Amino acid sequence: MLELIPNQLGFPLLSLMIFVPLAGAVILLAVRDARAARWIALLFSIAEIGLSVPLLANFDGSIAHMQFGESLPWIKDWHINYRIGVDGISVLFVGLTALLTTISIMVSWTAIQDRVREFMIAVLFLEAGMIGVFVALDLFLFYIFWEAMLIPMYLLIGVWGGPNRLYAAIKFFLYTLVGSVLMLVAILAVYFSAGGTFDVLALMNHPFGHTFQMWAFAAFFAAFAVKVPMFPFHTWLPDAHVEAPTAGSIILAGILIKMGAYGFLRFSLPFFPSAAISWTPAIMTLSVVAIIYGAYMAFAQTDFKKLIAYSSVSHMGFVTLGIFALNSQGVEGGLLQMINHGVSTGALFLAVGVIYERTHTRMIADYGGIAAKVPVYAAYLLIITLSSIGLPGTNGFVGEFTILLGAFQYKAVYAVIASLGIILGAGYMLWLYQRVAFGTVTNPHNEHLQDMNLREIAAALPLLVLVFGVGLYPNAAFQVMHASTENLIKHVQAKAALAPVAAQAANALLGQ
């Protein structure tokens, strides 16, 4: 049984992490000057990184319990509490959120010229929401953060996006909202079924009936699968990415879509283990389909950002594949791959943003031969491409390999098919790189392309460090996860074993 270990630091670290960006947003309301707005936003986002240092430094990876816990009664009549805490599953995402938000602000420095203050407010508000999602341990609180996060993202796409931004923003919003509403229904059902509690830790130990689990799992699945996005709920992602400004894309790819997979780990699996096990073959199949299908889609794209968006679909297929393999290699690989994907896809979108700011085109055909003009940029893009391909020595390899190993132990055929995705991945990414960087310059606009400036290099550098750092010493990340994932896997297996008869009956119904 997981416990909430109260925060020992003497100051409410996690609350500060939620409220510091909010405070930044409030202060920005009073600022008129665009320049000042940028600096203030940057300062607050760096402060957030500063806060994540004691978080990561004091985190105890040897225990599975929730740490840095805070609990305050909020709405007593409905037993709603302000309960937050982190464990090995969520703690790294808090850090990643802080880092990617700062990078997003840096890449928007000159790219955003219109309504700068409002833009920065939206980004900081978004950051608070994302941190809240990762630390909330009360379902009601979680749902509030989950929905609150939608709004700034919607605005980022809808206000600062590309020409077709309204379509993309509304599509994004509706897609995620439909999923969320189903989840809300399930949250209420869980609340009443468990005798009136939203406490996540208590709910993990509540024995739900199998039929109830099947329905509730499906409803949660709707929300999380859209967010991941799993095939066939993925079509909002390419549109949203294409239209979103660079900062929006980085956050969307880096953090937002991780929340689906995070939701599976935090809620779906521990709440409804026997349903999860019944659903597993279907989800594994969908994951494999996503891997192959996403890769194929990437081949057909002519738009730089769309290609990366579809590669995200493929990579997130690996994540769900690993998570639902439900063994330690799979789950930890899945978690690591979430971080990897945040880093490498974030870096890819950064690369697109850098070049888009200069050329104002996302069409791959408009590039070609730029390696000779912008060598630093070409080297940066190459490293990120390799990370995305999963070359050993970079972060991508460790994640993919461990996931495949996990899937192989669950059922070899999934790993075999998923491995084909790696071949395809190398194909479309290198083909992309070739079309962008190699050859001769065909587009006269690219003749006088400026290479990356110091600000851009500074924004990219932490990501590069992570690419190689995680690639060479992934244990640093794995150590944090071990206790929590082991506990999760044991918990799921033990709890699922309680209702084997019901599970069999349900499996018979599903025809498995």
Partner 1 sequence: MLKYILIPLLPFFGFLIAGLFGKYLKERAATVAVGGVLGAFVFAVSAFIDVANGTIIDENFYSWILIGNLSVNVGFQIDQLTAVMLMVVTFLSTLIHIYSIGYMHGDKGFSRFFAYLELFTFFMLVLVMGNNFLVMFVGWEGVGLCSYLLIGFWYEKKSAADAGVKAFVTNRVGDFGFVLGMMLIFTTFGTLDFTDVFAQATPQLAAQNIDLLGIEVGIVTLICLLLFVGATGKSAQIPLYVWLPDAMEGPTPVSALIHAATMVTAGVFMVARCAPLFSLSHTAMNVVAVTGAVTALFAATIGLVQNDIKRVIAYSTISQLGYMFLGLGVGAFSAGIFHLTTHAFFKGLLFLASGSVIHALSGEQDMRKMGSLRRKIKITYAVFLIGSLALAGIFPFAGFFSKDEILWSVYNAGSLGRSLWMVGLTGAFMTAFYSFRLIYLTFFGKSRMDHDVEHHVHESPPVMTVPLMILAFFSITIGFIGMPLIPHANLFANFLAPVFPHVQHGGTDHGLEIGLMIFSVLVAATGIVMAYVWYVRDTRIPDKLAEKFSGVYTLLLNKYRVDELYNYLFVDGLVHKLAGVLHRIGDVKIVDGAVNGVARLIGQASERGRKMQTGFVQEYAFIMGLGLVVLIGMYYVVK
User: Residue 86: in which H helix or E strand, if any?
Assistant: strand 80-86
Question: C-beta of 458: minimal distance to partner 1 in Å?
Answer: 17
Residue 296 binds to partner 1 (criterion: CB under 8 A): yes
Packing angle, helices 412-437 and 395-410, rounded to 10: 160
DSSP for 339-388, written as a single string: HHHHHHHHHHHHHHHHHHHHH---BGGG--SGGGT-HHHHHHHHHHHHHH
Q: Burial-class residue 391 by CB neighbours within 10 Å (0-12, 13-18, 19+).
A: middle
Best CA proximity match to 339, nearest among 109, 89, 118: 89
Residue 43 binds to partner 1 (criterion: CB under 8 A): no
Using CA atoms, how far apart are residues 72 and 3, in angstroms rounded to an integer?
Answer: 16
Nearer to partner 1, 128 or 371 (CB): 371
Residue 73 binds to partner 1 (criterion: CB under 8 A): no
Residue 75 binds to partner 1 (criterion: CB under 8 A): no
Residue 308 binds to partner 1 (criterion: CB under 8 A): no
Query: What are the φ/ψ torsions at residue 4 (nearest 5 degrees)?
Result: -100, 105
Nearer to partner 1, 50 or 393 (CB): 393
The one among 12, 209, 427, 462 contacting partner 1 by CB under 8 A: 427
Question: C-beta of 470: minimal distance to partner 1 in Å?
Answer: 11
The one among 359, 409, 443, 507 contacting partner 1 by CB under 8 A: 409
Q: Count the Cβ atoms, other than its own, within 10 Å of residue 69.
A: 21
Region binding partner 1 by CB under 8 A among candidate stretches 65-73, 126-134, 255-263, 474-482: 474-482
| Number of residues located near partner 1, criterion CB under 8 A | 57
Residue 209 binds to partner 1 (criterion: CB under 8 A): no
Residue 437 binds to partner 1 (criterion: CB under 8 A): yes
Nearer to partner 1, 70 or 332 (CB): 332
Q: What dihedral do alpha carbons 258, 259, 261, 265 form, nearest 10°? A: 130
Nearer to partner 1, 103 or 389 (CB): 389
Nearer to partner 1, 57 or 423 (CB): 423
Residue 438 binds to partner 1 (criterion: CB under 8 A): yes
Cis peptide leading into residue 474 (ω within 30°): no
Query: What are the φ/ψ torsions at residue 82 (nearest 5 degrees)?
Result: -90, 90
Nearer to partner 1, 32 or 448 (CB): 448
Region binding partner 1 by CB under 8 A among candidate stretches 102-110, 195-203, 269-277, 413-421: 413-421
Residues 54 and 60: beta-carbon distance below 8 Å: no
Nearer to partner 1, 39 or 438 (CB): 438
Residue with tokens 């929590």: 484
Nearer to partner 1, 95 or 390 (CB): 390
Nearer to partner 1, 340 or 402 (CB): 402
Using CA atoms, how far apart are residues 504 and 229, in angstroms rounded to an integer?
Answer: 29
Three-class secondary structure of residue 244 per DSSP = coil
SS (H, E, C) 97-123: HHHHHHHHHHHCCCCCCCCHHHHHHHH
Residue 365 binds to partner 1 (criterion: CB under 8 A): no
Question: C-beta of 464: minimal distance to partner 1 in Å?
Answer: 13
Residues near partner 1 (CB under 8 A): 171, 174-175, 232, 234-235, 293, 296-301, 327-329, 332-333, 369, 371-372, 386, 391-393, 397-398, 401-402, 404-405, 408-409, 412, 415-416, 419-420, 422-424, 426-427, 430-431, 434, 437-440, 472-475, 478, 482, 486
